[in-house]
């Protein structure tokens, strides 16, 4: 497997896992509070909707001119990756409270328990599970489609996302309510570095920049960004008091 393929699999797997942990937290909260029927129904309908989206948009993107696709995709990944990195840096340095799955869990449970009508609660449970899986999954779909088609390896990207789905699903079943133990910020920071690296690489290719050593440049760019991010976090930590946990 080439270095660019490893980076692709790593980026898609980690990004998918981060989003899936968030979705799973909501589904587990709905399942524990209102029963697994509504939670699973909402999740399955959302997964089918997302799969249909990939099936429709994926093949269409493959026929898009590669240079234009890389410029658009590169720009989107560049912006999205910088946003992730910024948030992860602020959290790692204690300037922003860490994302806490426990708080998301409690809020979902509170929302369900506040509804007295049993039929209404079943409906709200379905909608919460659907929205949780669909919205978090939509970000996964965008990452899979953009990275996969631009790298000319859509199948590999889909495989990495499915692997993340299986791993998060299995871990979720085992640890159930201990999802807050997942080192989400570290994963988010790694994904941020990879997304910005891909964004830089593809944007450059879209603008006719010829990277020295071809695909290997992607690994070098990622290494440079990782070092810079580490230096920023170390610098900020030295001057900051840590904050408590909140939901994003």
Partner 1 sequence: MKAAGSWVLRMLRGFGRFWWDFLVGDTPEIFLAALVVLGVVALISLVGHCNALAVVALPLLAILTLGLSVRRASRASRR
Which residues are near partner 1 by CB under 8 A? 75-76, 78-80, 82-83, 85-86, 89-90, 95-96, 138-139, 142, 196, 199-200, 203-204, 207-212, 217, 221, 224-225, 228-229, 232, 236, 240
Four-residue CA torsion sign, 80, 82, 84, 86: negative
3-state secondary structure of 102: helix
Q: Which is nearer to partner 1, 169 or 242 (CB)?
A: 242
In DSSP terms, 245 is beta-bridged to: 98
CA–CA distance from 19 to each of 136, 161, 191, 199, 235 (Å)?
5, 11, 11, 19, 28
219: exposed, middle or buried (C-beta count within 10 Å: 0-12, 13-18, 19+)?
Answer: middle
What's the CA gap between 96 and 104, in Å, rounded? Answer: 17
Comparison of 185 and 200: residue with beta carbon closer to partner 1: 200
* Least CB distance to partner 1 at residue 57 (A): 13
CB of 231 to partner 1, least distance (A): 10
Burial class of residue 102, CB neighbours in 10 A (0-12, 13-18, 19+)? middle
Which is closer to partner 1, CB of 11 or CB of 39? 11
Residue number, 11 or 28, with CB nearest to partner 1: 11
Cβ(24)–Cβ(172) under 8 Å?
Answer: yes
- Closest contact distance (angstroms) between CB of 99 and partner 1 is 14
- Residue closer to partner 1 by CB (options 180, 200) is 200
* Cβ 118 to partner 1 shortest distance, Å: 28
The distance of Cα 4 from the centroid of its chain, to the nearest Å, equals: 19
Q: Residue 140 Cβ, how far from partner 1 at the closest point, in Å?
A: 13
Angle subtended at Cα 161 by Cα 101 and Cα 9, rounded to the nearest 5 degrees: 110
* CB nearer to partner 1: pick between 125 and 229: 229
Q: Which is nearer to partner 1, 114 or 244 (CB)?
A: 244
Nearest distance, CB of residue 113 and partner 1, angstroms: 28
CB 124 within 8 A of CB 112: yes
Question: At its nearest, how many Å lie between partner 1 and the CB of residue 243?
Answer: 8
């Amino acid at each position: 497997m080439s270095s660019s393929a490893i980076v692709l699999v790593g980026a898609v797997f980690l990004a998918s896992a981060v989003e899936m942990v968030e979705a799973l937290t909501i589904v587990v909260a709905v399942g524990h509070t209102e029963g697994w029927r509504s939670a699973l129904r909402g999740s399955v309908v959302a997964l089918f909707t997302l799969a249909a989206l990939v099936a429709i948009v994926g093949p269409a993107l493959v026929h898009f001119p590669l240079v234009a696709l890389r410029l658009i995709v590169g720009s989107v990944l560049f912006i999205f990756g910088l946003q992730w990195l910024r948030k992860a840096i602020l959290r790692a340095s204690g300037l922003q409270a860490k994302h806490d799955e426990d708080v998301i869990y409690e809020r979902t449970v509170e929302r369900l328990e506040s509804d007295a009508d049993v039929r209404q609660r079943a409906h709200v449970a379905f909608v919460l599970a659907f929205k949780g899986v669909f919205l978090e999954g939509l970000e996964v779909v965008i990452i899979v489609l953009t990275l996969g088609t631009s790298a000319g390896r859509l199948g590999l990207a889909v495989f990495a996302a499915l692997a993340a789905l299986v791993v998060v699903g299995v871990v979720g079943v085992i640890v159930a309510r201990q999802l807050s133990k997942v080192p989400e910020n570290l994963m988010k920071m790694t994904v941020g570095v990879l997304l910005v690296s891909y964004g830089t690489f593809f944007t450059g290719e879209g603008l006719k920049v010829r990277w020295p050593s071809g695909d290997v440049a992607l690994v070098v760019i990622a290494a440079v960004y990782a070092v810079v991010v580490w230096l920023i976090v170390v610098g900020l930590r030295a001057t900051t008091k840590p904050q408590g946990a909140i939901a994003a």
